[in-house]
Amino acid sequence: MSADARRAIERVAHSIHRRGLTHGRTGNLAVRDGDRVLLTPTGVSLADVDADRLSVVALDGSHLDGPKPTKEAFLHVALLRVRPEANAVVHTHSVHAAAVSCLSDVDPENPIPPLTAYYGMRVGKLRMLPYFAPGDPAATGAVEDAARVTHALLLRNHGPVVAGADLDAALDAVEELEHTAQLFLLTRGLATSPLTSAQLHALATPSGRTSS
């Protein structure tokens, strides 16, 4: 497996933990490398991820090499199977996004409104899945269905799982989702002005994109 992919997983895992986007031994990452997938192992804090101690699975989820993969490996491989343009997946238990996933009165088709341009560009559509116990492979079908619509999912009573062209893109989207979830919770009960469909469409065009 690619040494660059291994180093990227170690770097991003440590960054996620350092930024407080997950806690304890929660959260996991995946990178597609040809017809195989590199994953963070089960029971390892993202602060302690080691490039030389990663799991390797096939796109059907079967364990090929390395330590036992995270029990949520099926989330990652399901997203990567459905979205061939994606090469990485980030799953965290970030506080504000997880808080939104616990609310009973949000629309599963649009659980967080597009309050900022960067949310529109980096997250776009967000879908919230029904509740499944962590590690329950029965969620595979729901993940695949939602992934046909969007690269950004919110697992009910759990947290976000987001695919991207690479790990940095997936991490950017997770951070933007967490930031907008915080804004959403801060403004609950107040009148807000989310971006319109036309404004979101403009952001999706090359002339509407910005890098900073």
Considering all CA atoms of the chain, what is the largest pairwise distance in Å, rounded to the nearest integer? 52
Locus of tokens 């590690």: 135
Active site residue 72: yes
Secondary-structure percent of the chain, ordered helix, strand, coil, rounded to 5: 40, 15, 45
Burial zone of 125 (CB within 10 Å; 0-12 exposed, 13-18 middle, 19+ buried): middle
- Joined tokens for residue 59: 């796109």
Q: Which of 10, 85, 109, 118 is catalytic?
A: 118
Q: Kindly name the residue from 10, 72, 176, 178 that is annotated as catalytic.
A: 72
Question: Cα-flanking dihedrals φ and ψ of residue 141, to 5°?
Answer: -60, -45
Helix and strand tally (H, E) in the chain? 7, 8
Task: Could you list the beta-strand ranges (E) of the chain.
Answer: 28-33, 36-39, 55-58, 63-65, 88-91, 126-129, 152-155, 159-164
Backbone angles phi, psi at 159, to 5 degrees: 165, 180
Which residues have a catalytic role annotated?
72, 118
